[in-house]
Amino acid sequence: MKSYCLNTALILRDHAAQLQNGLVRSEDWERLQFLAKMFPQFCHAGFEVPLGESSPGADFLICLRRQKESGHLLNIVSPDENWRRLRRFALKWREGRNFLDCIPNCWLEFDLLQMKTDGHLEPSLFVNVPVKAVNKYADVIDQLADLLSFPVSRACRDEAGRVVKIIAPHADAIETGFWLSRPTTGLRLVFMKLRRSPEQLIALLAEAGHPNPAALNSASLSSLWPVGGSIALALDIQENISLNIGIELYASPAGKPIDLADDLDNKFRLLTSLRDTGLCTASKMKNILGWQGTRSYGEAPELEGEVCLYRSLNHVKLSLSSKEQLPSAKAYLALTALAYRKRETQHAFA
């Protein structure tokens, strides 16, 4: 299998009824149509859906690969400073022969739920730095901050580098978020595919200097953790680590072949546990389960194969803040276009 580009407007049109039936607000549909014109093709995209509310609503995310979809950023003409920043980033990223070479892809996140009626579509940027390139991490962040004119302080950069040195050896990759669309100059660090129990994660957070790692004990994780096969850890960095903690739960074990029946069963059990702990409404659980499936989009002649679009529950994120006793939960619904040769066995994607 390999990633494949599909027409963004076509995919939105084909899934309009499903998205507008409890997942996406009607006022955001026009914004999604506009984004489809800005990013006419995609291979990976998704929706971030709050689970604790029965009303519809979702943020939108789209993946850009260095030599593929990043080119869309060069074609966007906008007076908004954020888009000019992203264009500078894309030009340097695609150029090669610099510290950004180690970034295989990035994600743009559009906060549709927080957007005002007359608000501009301005995304935040998340870049993926593989752990094998962690020795370049400080240089990558410095170059990105300069290209994006993002006023992150030296103290924040140093703190991010310190935390990365402690936690990155236990992860597969580090996503670093630059909140271009929010009034903050901090960074979001996401450590991907950690294989740690709650007790081990608490110890790791304590080693990294988190002010309250024991907060995980009161996060309903005891009933949820055994369901997830692997996790990701999200931390907000200013001059120090913020109290906020994000835990991303994945239904299937990382690094192992995915069996379709087992994967669907794992996701059903994960959502059931969230519902039973009061973190997911029954209606949202029904909508999320109904999202999963596949659809054929014809032949890929250059690969002598077929193109399929996979709809899946990629993961669930639990967010703990200093202001709340219970975490909030969001589901990340993925749209992934893949092409596979007809002689290959088609595996499930999650």
Domain spans, the chain: 2-213+220-341
pLDDT score of 347 more than 70:
no
Helix (H) or strand (E) holding 268: helix 260-276
> What is the CA angle 195-63-178, rounded to 5?
75
Where is average pLDDT lowest: 209-218, 295-304, 316-325?
316-325
* Average pLDDT over all residues of the chain: 88
pLDDT score of 115 more than 80:
no
pLDDT grade for 119, boundaries at 50, 70 and 90: low
* pLDDT value of position 341: 76
* pLDDT value of position 348: 44
CA 322 to chain centre: 23
pLDDT grade for 36, boundaries at 50, 70 and 90: very high
Residues 6+ apart with CB under 8 A from 48: 58, 59, 60, 61, 109, 317, 330, 331, 332, 333
Where is average pLDDT lowest: 22-36, 169-183, 257-271?
257-271
pLDDT grade for 323, boundaries at 50, 70 and 90: low
pLDDT grade for 246, boundaries at 50, 70 and 90: very high
Q: What are phi and psi of 127, to 5 degrees?
A: -110, 145
pLDDT score of 252 more than 70:
no
In angstroms, the CA 247 to CA 191 distance is: 10
* pLDDT value of position 214: 85
Record the pTM.
Answer: 0.91
* pLDDT value of position 227: 56
Q: What are phi and psi of 323, to 5 degrees?
A: -95, -10
Instruction: Count how many residues are written for the chain.
Output: 350
